[in-house]
Amino acid sequence: MIWALLLIPFTAALLSLLIRSDKLRRSILVVAAFSHAAIMAASWIHTPAPILNGWFEIDPIAQLFMSITDVLFLMASLYAIGYLKAERRSQKKDFEEGEFFANAPETIFTGCLLMFLTTMTIVITSQNFGMLWVAMEATTLVTAPLIYFHRHHRSLEATWKYLLICSVGIAVSLLGNFFLAIAASAHNGVSIPLMRSDLIANASQLWEPWVKAAFIFFLVGYGTKMGLAPLHTWLPDAHSEAPSLVSALLSGALLNCAFVGILRAFEVTTAAGHIAFAQDLLMFFGLVSMTFAAVFVIGQADYKRMLAYSSVEHIGILAMGVGLGGAAVFGSMLHAVNHSLTKAALFLVAGNILAAYKTKTAGDVRGVLSAIPASGLLWTAGILAITGFPPFGIFLSEFLILKASIDQGRYAVAVTYLVLLAIIFIGISAIALRMTQGRNVKPVSVEGERTLSIVPPAILLLGTLVLGVYVPPHLSSLLHHIANLLGGY
Amino acid sequence: MRTDIIMVLLILTNMVVLGSSRLRACIHVVAAQGVALGILPLIIHSFEPQLLIFAVLSVLLKGVIFPLMLWRTLRQLNVWREDDPYVGYGLSLLMGPIALAFSYWISTRLPMPFSVHSPMLIPVAMFTLIVGLFIIISRKKALTQVLGYLVLENGIYAFGMAIASQQPMLIELGILLDVFVGVFVMGIAIFHISRQFDHINTDQLSTLKD
């Protein structure tokens, strides 16, 4: 079954590069996304066997993050049908600077989208650190053309920054791999292969200074890709310039993939007995990211950039939750689910607003609720969800992390966390909720309101709403299992 | 001994890249560095068929294909010099020995748990790494930044050679493939940048900020 997970999107990507008919290519995208998600859904009932001597396996972490990725990818591919139809015109007017530009060919866009799914599948299911690294670099390369879909100079600038900064970040994490290899080198003639299970089983034999150095390099390298401040500088540009469905996938799926890379390194470091060291580092980067987000989200003029900074905030919360340990690890994993669902929904709705108003400046958008009511409603609900309003899921997971930090007696952390959350809440709601108010403001067009652009974000938001009220026992036991692996409960 | 010659060659090529404003010369020098590194595994390790394939691939990519790709971009763009870097050439050259000394110092602080073929290998690899990063940060032209990225990758490659006995070759091949596609995608991006802006200075890429 893992073979199918790897080969379905890969074959579909090759096919979509060859097929001329737009309609057929779009259906291939949806069929591939659907069958990938169906296989993943089946794996909840029956875990598939590892393949290639255990190089690829659906372990608990892979189970969780692959499922999130598949839900998001399925919704994004449904959204893509309508989006690609609307974007077909060959020459378009740039609404910010009035120049003309063309879009990238749809074949390349769809092909890269499917390759993106392939590489993410490899990253998440890989049990070998080297393989994980190769696939992580590949995600950078296949997403670069996606960010440069609108061929104007702002998206080009975003793509260049993304390519260069992430490539350097990935190079740093390659050094992390090398350091890990040194740490795993022979005590008595036999060195440990860079497989997750082998490293964890023989963790007591790892050389101490090199394990620690490897974790630092993994954290900095993959942290660049994950958007941990102060290494996040590519993130707001790429998220604001990419097409909205790509931003949704970047934020909801790709950042998680980088997080998986860090979690794998964390597992090994924990098994080697340096859990406190790794936790402190994660906690530090988490709080710094939240601080950066709080500073930049206040008065942010561009609503897609605002969402991007909100991603930096939530990535910070994820890192902080794992860093706190104990019950917070469970909260952090639940938060990963909630954040992905909510943020992907918000980016998709932001795409609708962008299509209707032809501007990304929050100040120029007024009366979304009256002009495009369905999107307006989803936007309001999404903003409430992302800022941690009950009864949405993010409220629950943020609360669990807060409770864990108070239970551990880390009051300074708890207070900082609350203050930062409050600042970001005020910052985001002031910008985003003002957009929904107002009357008699005519949008440029209402082409953004289609069934396929409303239903996917609605489903995602419904998911986070349900998770706020009721966490299914299957999911809950999986999250506890992962928390156990990561030194929590 | 032969390893040491290659190490000295690496140090010298790094110094040339730091001090030269002519892009064509820089491409040639980085190509020479790539060839030297490509044959390094054959010198360090005992001879094996798969090692030979790996070495031939590295030399082909680093010594022929990358330079040709960059060279083609250079000709299309008709840009030959990096005139006005953020950090001047005199200062960059001064940076070289400082970085080298630092690399030696740091490698004495990190003892290797196994014996390395040559005592120069680790410090020189680190030096190459630092030079690559420095070039990426301190130059304005997109093409020079790609050269910096290649130097950075060369440094990591050299580091990898020191511990190659611990890593399966499959992964090394994956890394080579990634670098190849990376340079390819960056080349396309540079081409688009030059069409959009009439030049390839990345300091013009500054519309997006807070």
ipTM confidence = 0.88
Chain A residues inside the 8 Å CB shell of B166: 181-182, 184-185, 191, 194
At residue A88, the 3 state secondary structure works out as: coil
pLDDT range class, residue A441, cuts 50, 70, 90:
low
Rounded Cα–Cα distance for residues A260 and B66 (Å): 32
- For residues A379 and A346, the answer to whether their CB atoms sit within 8 Å is yes
Mean residue pLDDT across chain B: 83
Chain A residues inside the 8 Å CB shell of B205: 153, 156-157, 160-161
Rounded Cα–Cα distance for residues B61 and B182 (Å): 12
DSSP class of A300: -
> Among A164, A110, A154, which Cα is nearest to B192's?
A154
Chain B residues inside the 8 Å CB shell of A193: 168
pLDDT digits (tens, 9 = 90+) for A473-484: 999 999 999 999
- Interchain CB contact of A181 with B (< 8 Å): yes
At residue A150, the 3 state secondary structure works out as: strand
Count of C-beta atoms within a 10 Å radius of residue A95: 12
Instruction: Among B110, B149, B196, select the one facing A156 at the smallest CB separation.
Output: B196
Q: Choose the weakest-confidence range: A366-380, A442-456, A465-479.
A: A442-456
pLDDT range class, residue A35, cuts 50, 70, 90:
very high
pLDDT digits (tens, 9 = 90+) for B14-57: 999 998 888 889 999 999 999 998 888 888 777 777 778 888 88
Rounded Cα–Cα distance for residues A268 and A488 (Å): 15
Rounded Cα–Cα distance for residues B96 and B89 (Å): 11
Count of C-beta atoms within a 10 Å radius of residue A59: 19
Chain B residue at shortest CA distance from A241: B208
- Interchain CB contact of A171 with B (< 8 Å): yes
Please state the rounded mean pLDDT for residues A164-179: 89
In this complex, do B153 and A185 lie within 8 Å of one another by their Cβ atoms?
Answer: no
Please state the rounded mean pLDDT for residues B185-210: 74
Give burial (CB, 10 Å; 0-12/13-18/19+) of A208: exposed
Which residue bears the tokens 């032209």? B141
Please state the rounded mean pLDDT for residues A271-299: 93
pLDDT digits (tens, 9 = 90+) for A110-120: 999 999 999 99
C-alpha distances (whole Å) from A42 to each of A63, A238, A337, A399 are: 11, 34, 19, 31
DSSP class of A203: G
In this complex, do A296 and B192 lie within 8 Å of one another by their Cβ atoms?
Answer: no
- This prediction's pTM: 0.92
Q: Mind telling me how many Å the CA of B166 is from chain A's nearest CA?
A: 6
DSSP class of A97: T
In this complex, do B182 and A296 lie within 8 Å of one another by their Cβ atoms?
Answer: no
Please state the rounded mean pLDDT for residues A176-194: 81
Q: Mind telling me how many Å the CA of B195 is from chain A's nearest CA?
A: 10
pLDDT range class, residue A262, cuts 50, 70, 90:
very high
The residue among B146, B207, B209 with the most chain A CBs within 10 A of its CB, best to mutate, is B207
Partners of residue A103 on adjacent β-strands:
A150
pLDDT digits (tens, 9 = 90+) for A40-71: 999 999 888 888 888 999 999 999 999 999 99
The residue among A153, A199, A205, A231 with the most chain B CBs within 10 A of its CB, best to mutate, is A153
Rounded Cα–Cα distance for residues B72 and B60 (Å): 17
Q: Choose the weakest-confidence range: A24-38, A464-478, B190-204.
A: B190-204
Please state the rounded mean pLDDT for residues A143-161: 88
Count of C-beta atoms within a 10 Å radius of residue A90: 7
| Higher local confidence (pLDDT), A480 or B166 | A480
Q: Mind telling me how many Å the CA of A448 is from chain B's nearest CA?
A: 25
What are A28-31's contacts with CB under 8 Å, separation 24+? A28/A110, A29/A77, A29/A80, A29/A81, A29/A110, A29/A113, A29/A114, A30/A74, A30/A77, A30/A78, A30/A81
Mean residue pLDDT across chain A: 90
Q: Tell me the residue type at A250.
A: L
Rounded Cα–Cα distance for residues A159 and B189 (Å): 8
Count of C-beta atoms within a 10 Å radius of residue A18: 9
Rounded Cα–Cα distance for residues A92 and A99 (Å): 8
Angle ∠(B87,B93,B98) on CA atoms, nearest 5? 100
pLDDT value at position A21?
A: 87
C-alpha distances (whole Å) from A415 to each of A212, A323, A354, A393, A409 are: 29, 16, 37, 21, 11
Please state the rounded mean pLDDT for residues B71-97: 84
Which residue bears the tokens 């910008």? A431
| Higher local confidence (pLDDT), A224 or B113 | A224
pLDDT digits (tens, 9 = 90+) for A119-149: 999 999 999 998 899 899 899 999 999 998 9
Rounded Cα–Cα distance for residues B22 and B64 (Å): 19
Q: Tell me the residue type at A126.
A: S
Q: Choose the weakest-confidence range: A33-42, A104-113, A329-338.
A: A104-113
pLDDT digits (tens, 9 = 90+) for A347-403: 999 999 998 888 888 888 888 888 888 999 999 999 999 999 888 999 999 999 999
Ordered DSSP codes for A217-244: HHHHHHHHHHT-TTS-THHHHHHHHS-H
- For residues A250 and A142, the answer to whether their CB atoms sit within 8 Å is no
The two counts, helices (H) then strands (E), for chain A are: 20, 2
At residue A489, the 3 state secondary structure works out as: coil
Chain B residues inside the 8 Å CB shell of A140: 182
Q: Write phi, then psi, for A488 (nearest 5 degrees).
A: -125, -155
pLDDT value at position A267?
A: 93
The dihedral through the CA atoms of A444, A447, A450, A455 has a sign that is: negative
pLDDT value at position B166?
A: 56
Please state the rounded mean pLDDT for residues B106-121: 79
